[in-house]
Structure 1
Amino acid sequence: MPQLRNIPYNAACYSEGVQPGEQVLCVTVPELVGCGVSERYLKKALNYQRVGLVYCWPHHKEGREVFVHYDGMAEKYRILVDKLLCNDVPAHLWVENEEAQTLNRKLEAFKKGLRMMVEISADDMAKLNEMQLFIPADIQRIARAAGWMRLWRKMDVKTARKYGFKTVGEVQQEMFKQCLNEQMKGFVKFPKPINNERTLDRKAREYGKEGLNCLVGGYFGNVNREKMNGQTHAILMQLASEQVKYSFEDIAMFYNEQAPQLGLPKMTVSAIKQHLNTPKHKKVWYYMRHGKLVGDADMQPMIDREPVSKPDLLWSLDGTTMQLYYKKQVGGKWVVKSDLYAYFVTDACTGAIIGYSVAFGESSGMVIEALKNTIDTWGYKPYQMNYDNSSANISATVTALINNMSHVNFPCTPYSGRSKSVELVIGHFQQRELRKFKNFKGGNITVKSHNSTANPELLKELSKNLEFTNQLPTEEQVMAQFKEGVVAWNSRGEARDAYGAFIGKSKIERYAEAYEGRVKLNYFEKLSLFMVELTNKQHPFGEYEYRQKGIEVAIRGEKMKFIVPDSDSSAMDFDFSREHLGHTFKVFVNLRADRPAWVELRNRKGKKVADAYEKEKFAACVADMKSKPGEMGKVQVFNLMQKQCYEDAQTEMERQREIVEQSGFKATGTDGYGFGWWDTPKGVENARNNRIEDARNGIAEESEEEIRMRALLNS
């Protein structure tokens, strides 16, 4: 096949355009013969070329082998070589491709074994471990980086050619790619990340002069790199992590006071500050110094998310104090209050407040009211909901309601405001709308901006001013104020013009826009959203057991008992209890009512069994019954039915005994003692107990024969 060859200096060369030592594209005589050229003609033509009779067959000899120069041949022979030897491709291009393929094959074989050629020195591992400055994982990474440096320096021209490469550059290019790949995956660690071959080559030369120090010193500065050791590092980290929060100057003073006695070098404040503020060290002592919440907020990497594309794809829920003062009459005197709590339902796409509720504290009922307000106002339901882990949000009733309303829902990371879009909405709502009211008490205590807090001098002056109290709104008026603030927030446009006026569609207009696939709920769909299944976590199927007092469930934080009454006017459940006592049911409740009066019982297949109503409570004493006319009669009826229940059981048992006797079967327990002490006459049972007790005490009743024998012996 055609090949590029360097003409030896001592070779016999018969070509006018090429000199010994130069590279030329050659074809052998057997290859030309294989293309159909006569061997006899070739020998004659080559002899004529040597004596100067022809000039179209330039060639040179290497030993006894003859190589014909492709470029000097006549065109018809070049076309013949291209067609038959090079698959109809020009010979020069074909040779270039062949060399590239050969190089690629060599590179592929070299790539597979390159990472195995990186040697990790045990001495490097020991030195890094003695420094006590790195965690075990970093020791492994730095030691592997040193192995790459040694391999880079080892790869000279001779070694490269041994692996089949012409230049070192071909090998180093692949070495850099694999080293960079390991750096990105975290397998190697350099003082500063390498980003090109020149940087890696410079670091390798530094390693040849300084050894392992070039991979370690960059972490600790320049002047004090030799002073830093494991003991110094440990002492500084301990002082920096103290919860009393020593300043860097105090840390330097405490360290330098004892350093000479411990045989440690003194450190300047700037060197200590530079060392402790190294990111990998700061992430350690910062948590201990300031606590987990602050550490997470300041040191943890943050994820960046794209905005939500459409309304109702994500609702975000949370509650906070209302931050508005109001007046309330207590004991005939007006007093200033600020104890109202607001719960928000926000749309993450538009930032609109689409529902809310107000109460004196966060409860499951408050969450349900906010969701009911949202559904009733707009008639849409969300695809996803997020919320925090407060007790109100994770209660059984709220969890069941959220599961029924959304396809996806889960609580956000605790104490992480960034994970809930509602946090940002609440903060901006308070500072941009509620603060316009004179009775605004300021932002939450966690706010850092002074613009978000109320002026303390103003609040002090207003608290002394009686007119201020008189001007405060009442509880009903402050609720109207809050609603006014919500309307103003939802009316804010997308941006402001040069004069401060809002422009573009408002938040609520963008939320209310129709889009493909968005359909409002009808009346029955709204009802079904709030008809939720309560889950009993103590039962494998989430069911509740019907007991003597009915079914007991917790709704909105209140324990309630429900029974299936015998009739519409009855407060007893003798009939249903007779058939289903001890059975378990799925319990469905309608949360739209403030206090549900009934629940629906279904079997495991989802089929309705009965409606259970809240169990009526009776007074425990006669004095309380006097205030409830007719209650004494209900209690008497209940007692009669309890007695009748026992008598019905006795009657049924007697009927069954008669059937048994007629069949001729002798049942055990029917020999006068009944089936138990409760079915035995009291006199018979007492006599039996006396005999058992006497036998236990060793006083057994004697027979007549034993009495006569004892009398005979005594005489």
Structure 2
Amino acid sequence: MQLINSIIYVPFDSLVSLGVPEGTIKYGIAAHRAGKAQSWANMPDPADKRRVLVAYDSIPPATRAKLPAKSALLQQLADKTREATSAADALAVRMVLPAVPKADLAALRGFRIERELTDKSTGEVLTKELSGLPEDKIKAYGMACRWLALLSDEKWKKKAERVKLSPAFAAMPAFIAACVDLFTEDGVKLPTNYSKLQAKLREYKEQGAACLVSKSYGNTNTLKVGHDELEYLIKLYSDARKPSFELVTAWYNEAAVRRRELGLNPWPEITSGTTKKRLLAPDVQPNWYLPRHGFAAWKAKYEYTMLCYKPTQRDVQWVIDGTKVNKRYRTAKGTSAKLKVLVVMDVATDYFLGWAFAETEDSREVAKAVRMAHRRAGGVKPLQFLYDGDSANLSFFKGVGGLHYKAMPHNGQSKTIEGAFGRLQQQIMRADKNFTGQNITAKEINSRENLDDFKEKDLPTLAECIAQAEFELHVWNNYKGSKGDRLSPKELYEASQNGDTDFMTPEDEMEAFWVWNDRPITYRKDGLRFKKQGVETVFEVVNEVATDFPGVTQRVPDMDFHSAFVGQEFWVKYDPENPAGGIGLFVGADKRFIGFAHPKQAMPRAQADYKAGDRDAIQVRLVAKKEQAGRIVNRQADIADRFDAEELLKFGQNRWWGKDVETAAEEDFMKEQDVAKAPRRLPARAASPATVASPASSSANHASKSDYLKRISFNED
């Protein structure tokens, strides 16, 4: 006898044993399979496909009447019938069981546990909300509301409606009894007594879901410690010296005794248990946690934080942070574990883009890590760069934030790189024998190091430790998880695409990563001589000139710059990684950028040393030298052509002395010409009489001399 889907089945062989002819059964089964009326419904036995089960209700009534009345099989059949009927009735009731009414659900979720506090100075009773109902209570009360809503429905007071569910529910008590059996089976805590259940139904109609919640649930009576007393306990426990509950209780009780002696409003004396209970209440703890443990501890425990999801693309957001490498190594002074690493990580993929190792962080190490990140990213600039308030970060990003990309200080607690460092140490670095463990205060013993077999001679040197740690950063980038079931950070980074980013320009590189020379340097006719790291390099400003080959340029001296700036002092900015590779030139006290200078190419003096391209390069420079002088000559010719004699007449003569000096000198010159010369000694013999100039001839000579002087041009500086 089996009950399957509320249908009773009897095995084929059991019917035969009860006297039903085998042929009759087979004929009935065949009729069922042929779809004829009055057929015997049947199915294979789920436990044994070789056996056939016949539905008892499908056996014709005449055949069922011939079965032995007192057989054990029929007794089992009766029991199964009652079981099936009960199951059918239960299913019928559950089918009409409503969902939790919306009003009841809102009432349960809106219920608030309250605490009453008495102000001892005024006697006023204050009510403070603490919390709502626990989720398990809401679910339990909600299930009870479903049954109360079902039993309160006026529809089920009608016999016709109940009978539709089952004939057994013709009487109302039978229907209620079935409901009681079902909600008791479900663990719902409602009265099982008929009269008490009716009383609860009346309360439900008046109060709704509130009738299920005890009036005293979660509430506290007026506590012994009032508002003022609690404030004083908070003050005592807020001491940065961190007194115990027992000591705070003793201080409080001393104050209570003193108040009674002074005739003030008395405070009750309390035990340390009361002190502990009141101070550890969730709404009280934040008030003493900050002054007792400090701002950082309070921030870590109580400060509000937003829930953020990671960027969806690479190079949207980078973050930089430093951490201890947590590895021991040998030094000249013994064992050390001070090595730190600064890492730049792409937040979207957890890919380590750049890093720098040092025992002490400074802005130069930050620059190294950031520069490495830009190079490994192909020169890309992130849309946002996050960093913490460390002095090294602040010093570096002060010069590049906003100019190169959006860089901003960030709350260290919400940096995803912190979690990456933890996984790096747990999953990768712990494989090294010189790993010191994650933290000396680590709670898990597996995160602490074992020094039993520690031998200093087996430790690596500092350089070896750096190489070891750098290799493990590459392991992180290629690590696919302990199960190998996910993409590595490198695969994620390379698979992601971001077309909205910009690229670092040479000016960005210079301003972010180059450093200043300590003094200005003069640009001479042979270029600017710059010495760094013991090597002197001559630099000159050049122009990129196209060649006959497409896409190929040639550097030639910039003669305009040469002519304009020979003798000028320049402040020099250079690449600390390659001082001889190129420099930036800045002029003036405010260091205005002029341009880049490149190493000057030396030309072979002897033809035997010529290489491919040398002759052309020499020719270019010879032409440039010739053009330099030619430019001066041509400019002088242009000036002379423009300011010709006519122009001089317009602007006046350029005199070497003033007009008044010239007039006075002219008068003196003319007077000297009119003075007669002293007579010479006469010769020993007589001479013919001298011819004396007539006044008319003297005036003519003076006029000719004056005209001559007017034609003379005098120039002034």
Structures share a fold, TM > 0.5? no
Q: How high is the TM-score relative to the length of structure 1?
A: 0.44
Q: How high is the TM-score relative to the length of structure 2?
A: 0.44
Q: Which has more radius of gyration?
A: 2
